[in-house]
């Protein structure tokens, strides 16, 4: 073996003489790696080729897979620092001003614009939540034709050729939209429709105020919505107008209302609310009367008669039926109104012409026009006309409409027609829907044109005549969407970007309406910077008040015995259903009922007793017309509701909510968030009535019967009063002093009234926390708080708070860091009163949570914050158990964060928490740090007001003060020194850094507490 073989054998001579490598090759039948060796030169060649190809392909433009922001740095953008752009909220037609916080090229939060005259710094819950719509992965990314993906070029071509046919045939063209306040858009639509012989624009609001405008047309000769000045009103009487909650422009109204209730200036308006159900506004009223909807007109007549008599106006109403409201009270109210002539305000929120006329008449004889109601500079926030809508629906039924464009409206969902209307819409030869998502109407449309989110495009708005607001894009459009104005301009034959369209319109129409600025560019830049420009309002010709048409309403319409009057109402979160895609808003507890993820049938406790139902029992509502569909809804017992009223929220049951089938943690015992029909809640729009030319929200009668089934409501608060159940009440103890309140009479005598005193305990120990620098603290004015919940959403957006879904809420595991506790109590008069108490981590000085954590995951900071260290937390939950306020939230599961697009909304300054750790309000520590760094850079102390917490910023009522308690001149220190200030559970000596200011109810009695009896709800 070791011996080398040298002898060579061959088979033929050829083989013997051949070259040795050929021989070798022959021996190896299946050579590996080819005949050639890979040499150094080959390597270099291959490398060169590869590099060459790589360079060559790199020259072409590859499709953008991921948008990497700011590859080429913009001048003003510093990574990690936020920029604020003024814009206008398009969440509803109120047109509030906002500041979009843009971080590294993406908007992450919307805040109120303090300089905007409409909203004055606040922003409502829906406005805040709109940002989630921008990052909605189910938003339409491209145009659809017959439900299939198409291109703009193709669609433009087809629509234009079809429109040419319609024009030739003199076919009817209709443009159906919600209220559009944008002057540019309105002008474009006008120009577009002018190109057709038979075309017009129909405006309707699903939450209609048509009768209010119609009434002004009759009394003043112009169809306008007056601008209300709540701040100038000393007496406010509202007939079912939920102006602090959902009516027309709640943010602006709340700011005005708050201004009119200034306790320090001892100027407090007196607010009376007549309403069938408990609304946000009713919950703040000084005197609230539960009245059946059918009686509203009668009451208006009663009041009008009394006021007219007192002011000497002719108003004859013989044979007036007696009302259910105490006539002594009405007399007193009339007196008060007469005393406050020109400084009072009558509001009517019902969509009934006769009632609106009476309300106008009252305002007229009280001399309120021109002072608390402005019709010279009217509001444009609601323009819908139910009459025109009715006509359009009739035309649709007759098949007369040849082309219908639907924008900012969802008639197939929010109108009563149901399947009939859907069929009529299907009959329209050219149905074009401008929509962000495929909603009920878009599903019927031949062409669905994706509309841009308002944070992606240029636009404008004129919510109040003379106030023109700019909307500017804050991000490159995320899909292949196009704004309405661009589409129409294209079809008008003048395709232009929205920026040019808005600018040109401003140059031509808006700029001439002012005289301050002579240069358009400067005017424009100023407007874009401020977000708003004040110009002269368009002249309006009103005529002398026409009392001819004002007629008394002599009788109340009462439901038949055994039947209920049905009231359909919008909720703060869902409004007309436009927000049904938004999980934050579904999870936002209703300000009054605290129920999430459902709509329900609200009934009064008495009615519930009569029907023998409790919360969660499913009842069947049958329309008196015998509606084909039975409405089955769980009951929610609502104290303060009129006994013959059943109230159901609109806006639920939308197709857009079908996506929530899998929201929240999915585990063994998880229950899905949607109902039997695969959507959240039930659409109550089929119960609406369009009759007498108006949409009627409260005219239907229903019969209610039990089904025997149960559907537990996911409520965030189950115990509704401050008194403990009677049999468990220890002898001698009354209501818990968690909420402290007083009356105006008592307050004027002693501002400290109603505040429970607790002696300051002298500490034997040296102070644990000396707070050498600032000490952050907060004061919440409960008297100003309306419970509107915009702070809850602001906190959710700011602090990356996850959505947990209906089942988790049902299990009392919501994650909101800030909650608003709502308590009912019963006044002497039998009136149900409501107290709101926004509660978050109280950042205690003697924090019970800090001592019990075994791993020091919650510690006290030098500036008074109770810090939670997520990385260190192991989740024993001891801190939460030991928190008297229960302000802590535990991550029971890993909450979903797998929607990459939706994750763009996350605030990069705030950690996303994993499962198993505790979390809670941080006083927006990221904002404090930002301000501190900025102050340090400038070598200054953090100035008062430099830190605004998210909740404080968004509050329309400015009920939250925040700042340094160690600075005696800071606003928060002054508020802490306010005699109304108390602390929740002060007796525990945990020394919270959050103070509360008492609720002061404007009523003449003193010492209300003693006579008051708590209600058991």
Partner 1 sequence: MAEAAIALRPPLIAGDKSIAQVTHDVCAPMEARPTALWWVALLISSSFLLLGAAAIAYQISVGVGTWGLNRTVGWAFDITNFVFWIGIGHAGTLISAILFLFRQRWRTSVNRAAEAMTIFAVMCAGIFPVIHTGRPWFAYWMFPYPNTRGSLWINFRSPLVWDFFAISTYFTVSAMFWFIGMLPDLATIRDRATAKWRRKLAGLMSLGWNGSYRAWQRYEVVYLMLAGLGTPLVISVHTIVSWDFATAVLPGWHATIFPPYFVAGAIFSGMAMVLTLMIIARKLMRLEDYITLRHIDRMCKLVITTSGIVGLSYGTEFFTALYSGSSYEQFVFLNRALGPLFWGYWTMVGCNVFIPQLLWFRRVRAYVPAVFLICILVNVGMWFERFIIIVTSLSRDFIPANWFHYAPTRVEVATLLGSFGLFFTLFLLFCRFIPVIAVAEVKGVLKYGKPQLESAHE
Residues at the site binding partner 1, with contacts judged by CB under 8 A: 665, 667-669, 717-722, 724-725, 727-730, 732-733, 736, 738, 808, 811-814, 819, 821-823, 837, 839, 848, 851-856, 872-878, 880-882, 884-886, 888-894, 915-918, 984-985, 988, 990
**Residue 697, CA distances (Å) to 294, 394, 671 in order:** 11, 20, 33
Residues 997 and 980 sit within 8 Å (Cβ to Cβ):
yes
CB of 853 to partner 1, least distance (A): 6
Question: Rounded distance, CA 415 to CA 205, Å?
Answer: 10
Kindly give, in sequence order, each residue whose CB lies less than 8 Å from that of residue 817, ignoring residues fewer than 6 positions away: 795, 799, 801, 840, 841, 887, 889, 919, 920, 921
C-beta closer to partner 1: residue 549 or 856: 856
List Cβ neighbours of 948 (8 Å cut-off, separation of 6 or more): 927, 962
Count, residues in the chain: 1017
CB nearer to partner 1: give 477 or 916.
Answer: 916
Tokens, residue 997: 């200011």
**Nearer residue to partner 1 within complex by CB, 47 or 666:** 666
Nearest to 963 by CA among 1017, 916, 927: 927
Q: Which is nearer to partner 1, 497 or 848 (CB)?
A: 848
Measure the CA angle with vertex 360, ends 356 and 362; round to 5°: 115
Helices 484-491 and 498-505: angle between axes, nearest 10 degrees = 90
* Least separation in angstroms between CB 863 and partner 1: 20
CA 427 to chain centre: 35
CB 842 within 8 A of CB 860: no
**Pairwise CA distance, residues 929 & 264, whole Å:** 33
Residue for token pair 């009129």: 642
Q: Please tell me the distance from the alpha carbon of residue 1014 to that of residue 135, in angstroms, as a whole number.
A: 46
Task: Find the shortest distance in angstroms from Cβ 983 to partner 1.
Answer: 13
Residue 709 CB, shortest distance to partner 1, in Å, is: 21
Nearer Cβ to partner 1 (852/912): 852
Q: Could you tell me the smallest distance in angstroms from the CB atom of residue 658 to partner 1?
A: 25
Phi, psi of 289 (to 5 degrees): -125, 125
Distance (Å, whole) CA 622 – CA 314? 43
CB contact at 8 A, 535 and 462: no
In the structure encoding, which two tokens stand for residue 499, read together? Answer: 């920026």
C-alpha closest to that of 807 among 705, 988, 673, 969: 673
Shortest approach of partner 1 to residue 465 CB, angstroms?
44
Q: Which residues of 617-640 are buried (b: 16+ CB within 10 A; e: fewer)?
A: bbbbbbbeeebeeebbbbbbbbbb
Distance, in Å, from the CA atom of 824 to the CA atom of 826, rounded to the nearest integer, reads: 7
From the CB of residue 456, how many other CB atoms can be counted at a distance below 10 Å? 20
Contacts of 216 by beta carbon, 8 Å cutoff, 6+ apart = 222, 223, 224, 225, 226, 360, 375
In this structure, what are the phi and psi dihedrals at residue 820, rounded to the nearest 5 degrees?
Answer: -115, 110
Task: Output 406 or 795, the one with its CB closest to partner 1.
Answer: 795
| DSSP-derived secondary structure for 786-806 | ----HHHHHHHHHTTPPP--H
Written as six digits, the tokens of 812 are 């009392």
Residue linked to tokens 């002061």: 1000
Closest CB to partner 1 among residues 865, 873: 873
Q: Name which of 726 and 938 has its Cβ closer to partner 1.
A: 726
Which residue, 665 or 693, is less far from partner 1 as judged by CB? 665
Q: Least separation, in Å, of the C-beta of 748 and partner 1?
A: 30
Token pair 């076919």 is found at 171
d(CA 101, CA 86): 9
Q: Which is nearer to partner 1, 342 or 875 (CB)?
A: 875
Residue 673 Cβ, how far from partner 1 at the closest point, in Å? 15
- Residue nearer to partner 1 on the CB measure, 398 or 987: 987
Report in angstroms how near the CB of residue 667 gets to partner 1 at its nearest: 5
Spatial CB neighbours of 806, under 8 Å, sequence gap ≥ 6: 596, 597, 598, 663, 664, 671, 672, 673, 680, 714
Please identify, using beta-carbon distances, which residue of 36 and 726 lies nearer to partner 1: 726
Q: Supply the minimum distance, in Å, between the C-beta of residue 868 and partner 1.
A: 13
Residue with tokens 């299946």: 30
CB of 808 to partner 1, least distance (A): 8
Q: Residue 114 CB, nearest distance to partner 1 (Å)?
A: 31
CB of 928 to partner 1, least distance (A): 23
Nearer to partner 1, 21 or 898 (CB): 898
Q: How far apart are CA 813 and CA 237, in angstroms?
A: 40
Comparison of 569 and 885: residue with beta carbon closer to partner 1: 885
Alpha-carbon distance of 252 to 95, in angstroms, equals 10
Q: Which is nearer to partner 1, 729 or 1011 (CB)?
A: 729
Closer of 84 and 870 to partner 1 (Cβ): 870
C-beta of 727: minimal distance to partner 1 in Å? Answer: 6
Distance set, CA 958 to CA 56, 347, 817 (Å): 61, 24, 19
Q: Residues 833, 735: contact at Cβ < 8 Å? A: no
| Closer of 162 and 837 to partner 1 (Cβ) | 837
Q: Closest distance between partner 1 and the C-beta of residue 764, in Å?
A: 17
Compute the least distance from the CB of residue 126 to partner 1, in Å: 24
| Least separation in angstroms between CB 876 and partner 1 | 5
Taking the C-alpha atoms of residue 67 and residue 74, their distance in angstroms, rounded to an integer, is 15
């Amino acid at each position: 073996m070791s011996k080398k073989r040298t002898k060579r054998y061959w088979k033929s001579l050829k083989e013997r003489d051949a070259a040795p490598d050929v021989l070798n090759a022959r021996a190896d039948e299946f050579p590996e790696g080819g005949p050639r060796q890979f040499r150094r030169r080959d390597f270099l060649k291959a490398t060169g080729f590869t590099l060459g190809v790589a360079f060559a392909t790199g020259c072409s433009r590859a499709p953008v897979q991921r948008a990497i922001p700011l590859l080429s740095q913009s001048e003003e953008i510093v990574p990690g620092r936020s920029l604020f752009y003024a814009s206008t909220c398009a969440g509803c037609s109120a047109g509030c001003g906002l500041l979009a916080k843009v971080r590294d090229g993406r908007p992450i939060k919307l805040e109120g614009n303090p300089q905007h005259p409409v909203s004055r710094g606040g922003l409502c819950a829906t406005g805040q939540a709109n940002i989630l719509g921008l990052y909605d992965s189910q938003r339409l990314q491209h145009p659809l034709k017959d439900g299939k993906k198409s291109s703009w070029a193709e669609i433009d071509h087809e629509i234009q050729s079809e429109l040419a046919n319609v024009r030739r045939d003199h076919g009817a063209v209709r443009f159906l939209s919600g209220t559009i306040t944008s002057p540019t858009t309105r002008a474009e639509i006008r120009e577009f429709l002018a190109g057709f012989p038979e075309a017009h624009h129909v405006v309707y609001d699903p939450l209609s105020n048509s009768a209010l405008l119609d009434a002004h047309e009759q009394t003043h000769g112009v169809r306008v919505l007056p601008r209300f000045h709540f701040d100038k009103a000393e007496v406010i009487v509202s007939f079912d107008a939920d102006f602090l909650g959902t009516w027309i422009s709640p943010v602006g109204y709340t700011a005005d209302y708050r201004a009119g209730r200034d306790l320090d200036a001892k100027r407090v308006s007196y607010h009376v609310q007549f309403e069938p159900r408990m609304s946000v506004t009713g919950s703040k009223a000084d005197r609230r009367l539960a009245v059946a909807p059918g009686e509203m007109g009668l009451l208006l007549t009663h009041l009008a008669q009394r006021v007219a008599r007192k002011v000497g106006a002719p108003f004859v109403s013989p044979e007036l039926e007696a009302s259910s409201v105490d006539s002594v009270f009405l007399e007193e109210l009339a007196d008060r109104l007469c005393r406050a002539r020109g400084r009072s305000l009558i509001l009517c929120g019902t969509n009934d012409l006769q009632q609106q006329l009476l309300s106008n008449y009252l305002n007229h004889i009280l001399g309120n026009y021109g002072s608390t109601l402005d019709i010279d500079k009217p509001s444009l926030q609601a323009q819908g006309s139910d009459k025109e809508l009715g006509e359009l629906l009739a035309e649709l039924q007759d098949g007369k409409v040849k082309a219908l464009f639907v924008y900012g409206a969802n008639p197939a969902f929010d109108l009563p027609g149901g399947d009939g209307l859907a069929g009529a819409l299907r009959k329209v030869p050219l149905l074009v829907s401008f929509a962000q998502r495929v909603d009920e109407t878009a599903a019927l449309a031949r062409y669905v044109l994706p509309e841009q989110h308002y944070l992606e495009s240029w636009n404008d708005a004129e919510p109040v005549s003379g106030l023109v607001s700019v909307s500017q894009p804050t991000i490159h459009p995320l899909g292949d969407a196009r704004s309405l104005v661009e589409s129409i301009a294209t079809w008008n034959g003048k395709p232009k970007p929205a920026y040019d369209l808005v600018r040109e319109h401003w140059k031509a129409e808006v700029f001439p309406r002012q005289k301050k600025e002579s240069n358009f560019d400067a005017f424009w830049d100023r407007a874009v910077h401020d977000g708003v420009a004040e110009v002269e309002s368009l002249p309006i010709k009103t005529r002398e008040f026409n009392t001819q048409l004002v007629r008394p309403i002599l009788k109340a319409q009462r439901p038949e015995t055994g039947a209920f009057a049905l009231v359909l109402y919008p909720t703060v979160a869902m409004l007309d259903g436009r927000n049904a895609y938004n999980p934050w808003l579904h999870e936002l507890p209703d300000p009054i009922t605290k129920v999430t993820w459902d709509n329900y049938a609200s009934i009064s406790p008495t009615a519930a007793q009569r029907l023998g139902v409790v919360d969660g029992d499913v009842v069947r509502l049958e329309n008196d017309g015998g509606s084909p569909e039975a409405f089955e809804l769980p009951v929610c017992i609502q104290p303060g509701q009129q006994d013959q009223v059943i109230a159901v929220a609109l806006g639920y049951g939308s197709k857009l909510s079908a996506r929530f089938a899998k929201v929240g943690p999915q585990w063994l015992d998880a229950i899905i968030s949607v109902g039997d029909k695969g959507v959240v809640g039930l659409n109550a729009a089929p119960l609406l009535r369009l009759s007498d030319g108006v949409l009627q929200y409260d005219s239907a009668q229903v019969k209610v019967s039990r089904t025997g089934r149960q559907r537990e409501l996911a409520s965030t608060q189950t115990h509704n009063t401050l008194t403990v159940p009677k049999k468990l009440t220890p002898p001698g103890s009354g209501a818990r002093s968690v909420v402290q309140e007083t009356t105006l009479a008592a307050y004027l005598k002693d501002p400290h009234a109603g505040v429970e005193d607790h002696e300051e305990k002298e500490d034997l120990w040296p102070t644990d926390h000396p707070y050498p620098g600032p000490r952050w603290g907060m004061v919440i004015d409960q008297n100003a708080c309306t419970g509107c919940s915009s702070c809850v959403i602001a906190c959710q957006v700011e602090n990356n708070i996850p959505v947990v879904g209906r089942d988790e809420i049902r299990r009392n595991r919501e994650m909101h860091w800030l909650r608003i506790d709502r308590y009912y109590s019963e006044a002497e008069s039998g009136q149900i009163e409501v107290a709101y108490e926004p509660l978050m981590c109280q950042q205690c000085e003697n924090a019970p949570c800090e001592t019990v954590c075994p791993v020091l995951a919650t510690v006290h900071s030098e500036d008074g914050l109770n810090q939670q260290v997520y990385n260190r937390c192991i989740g024993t939950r001891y801190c939460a158990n030991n928190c008297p306020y229960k302000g802590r939230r535990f991550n029971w599961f890993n909450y979903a964060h797998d929607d990459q697009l939706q994750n763009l909304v996350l605030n990069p300054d705030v950690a996303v928490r994993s499962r198993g750790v505790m979390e809670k309000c941080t006083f927006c520590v990221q904002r404090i740090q930002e301000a501190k760094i900025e102050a340090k850079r400038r070598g200054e102390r953090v100035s008062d007001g430099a830190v605004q917490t998210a909740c404080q910023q968004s509050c329309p009522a400015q009920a939250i003060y925040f700042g340094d308690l160690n600075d005696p001149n800071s606003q928060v220190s002054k508020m802490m020194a306010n005699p109304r200030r108390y602390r929740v559970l002060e007796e525990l000596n945990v020394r919270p850094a959050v103070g509360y200011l008492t609720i002061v109810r404007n009523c003449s009695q003193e010492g209300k507490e003693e006579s008051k009896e708590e209600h058991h709800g």
